[in-house]
Structure 1
Amino acid sequence: MNYTLNQLRIFLKIVQTESITKAAEDLHLTQPAVSIQLKNFQNQFEIPLTEIVGKKLYVTDFGREIAVAAENILNEVYAINYKTLAYKGQLAGRLKISVVSTGKYVIPYFLADFMKRHQGVELVLDVTNKSKVIESLENNEVDFALVSVLPTQLTINKIELMQNKLYLVGNREVTVEEKLYPKTVFESIPLIYREAGSGTRFVMERYFENNQLAVTKKMELTSNEAVKQAVIAGLGYSIMPLIGIKNELENGQLQIIPVQNFPITSVWNLIWLSPKKLSPVAAMYLEYLHKEKDALVKERFDWFENYR
């Protein structure tokens, strides 16, 4: 056998995403490049690693066993690199964070300076919905998770980063006829939801339930960007985090519909399992956040904190 570390890395990402397209996106490669590497890797085994049924890729049982071995090999390689850097006096290791989808507008600003200071740290950042974020934390697959809705089933520690604000939004063609709509406005407009498992959807449904509102779900979409584009196109309204619609508000593609007792507010928390022994990298990152988070919020999110 003559497989390369790059083939192992690509195959492991394919197994994790169960998609050549998604693997290519995550690795910043072209889809043909990923397909070629998968084929070259597969050619070294007599037993299939993957199967295509319909148009969907499935990983075989044998393929999953190879993926476990591939991850172990890559971890050993990373360990060699980290030990080399540590010997030179540099902080080194992997920092793994799972982030709910709207958290992608927040977490980079709390990471950028830390990563610049510590060149030996490798960041593994997974952006997904709330259910999968909590699952990865529960399975001890990550150091931290960024959420705006705290899990009730886990014993966790947390550090508050900044507040989260959710507003009712519509597109530029909507005529706002009142300075402040009553909450019953939700019973007369078509609403666009995030998928089940999304933190934003959880907040929406809790609000409607607490206020005993009978609403009409127009459609359900699987990402914040998809919801945003659907609202811009005029397919309906949605409750969206302010943090993710700054550009669209500024260029007039979206507008906030004023509703009584809005915005809905929560807090972005970085959480970790209470019993977990943090790695040196994770502990250093936590120390960095305690020292720098207030200054970062003031510098990077002043527009957000002062938005009315």
Structure 2
Amino acid sequence: MRPLFYSLLSILMLSCAAAKYKPLKINGVSFVASRGVVDASHVKPIVNINANAAAVMPFGFIRDQAHPEVTHNTKRQWFGETRSGAGQYIEALHKEGINVMVKPQLWIAHGEFTGFLEASSEADWKLLEASYSDFILEYAEMAQEYNVEVFCVGTELEAFITHRPAYWQELIKAVKAVYTGKLTYAANWDEFWTTPFWHQLDYIGIDAYFPVSTMQTPTVEDCIKGWAKHKPGLKAFSEKLDRPILFTEFGYRSVDYTGKEPWRYDRSMTSVNLIAQNNATQALFDAVWDEDWFAGGYLWKWFVDHNNVGGVDNNQFTPQNKPVEQIIKAHYKS
């Protein structure tokens, strides 16, 4: 019986080893920078919704597109937008068992869309590239210093990438020279198909504002049908590149027609529709989260001062103190 027992045990062990390893989903939030330091009281609400990850988002600024120089880590910025602030946030999150993605972002004067950022001369391209590299490499070095789990090399910069692909390939090499964790890029939902450097990264990052329903108050079923239009392409893209897809941002406003153009944040949309937010969020979880090609994502967006943000009269993206918070908590626990 002894030889037979060991033979069966060996077969069982080999079968287990051959089974495809499924890493835990990234159940994350986008942790918005604030003026001051954070502590356990600011992180506990993230833990309480069963999240296991958060994006920390330091900022760089371009004050004039005619002179596209990125400035960052200045005394004029909020604490959470700077290197010291981001580092302090990371320590507070890690202390509570929350993994971190560092996701440096650009703000262009007057809130202009970063996807349109481009220079008008070779000299200005060189200025943009040099200053952007300084910005990104500073935070890549910081991410290494704090043992950050994921680093994002950029967010929604389609024109910049289209015009200067060689620069981006060299930038990623430079990031890898100082940071040894997982890498991604946050492509806009309609941009990722043409991003040329996914093979250099670990995740296909997508800011996932896919249109899923034209209904004023979308139902879960209608949104799931909407996702059915996108999922085959996402699956095929993931398989082609042999990379999992990570939603570097996802979420819905508590507003009418929230599934129609989920990227819209303008103030012209004044309604409050909590049911729309609930249904669109539940549908995303039902349609996408358990897919093998999907790595998880970071909910947009989560503010530091939990008790004083969001609420049932708020029509913006945050789920805080709204019914959808319980939907997220239940799903992140599963």
TM-score (norm 1): 0.27
Which structure: greater strand fraction? Answer: 1
Normalising by structure 2, what TM-score? 0.26
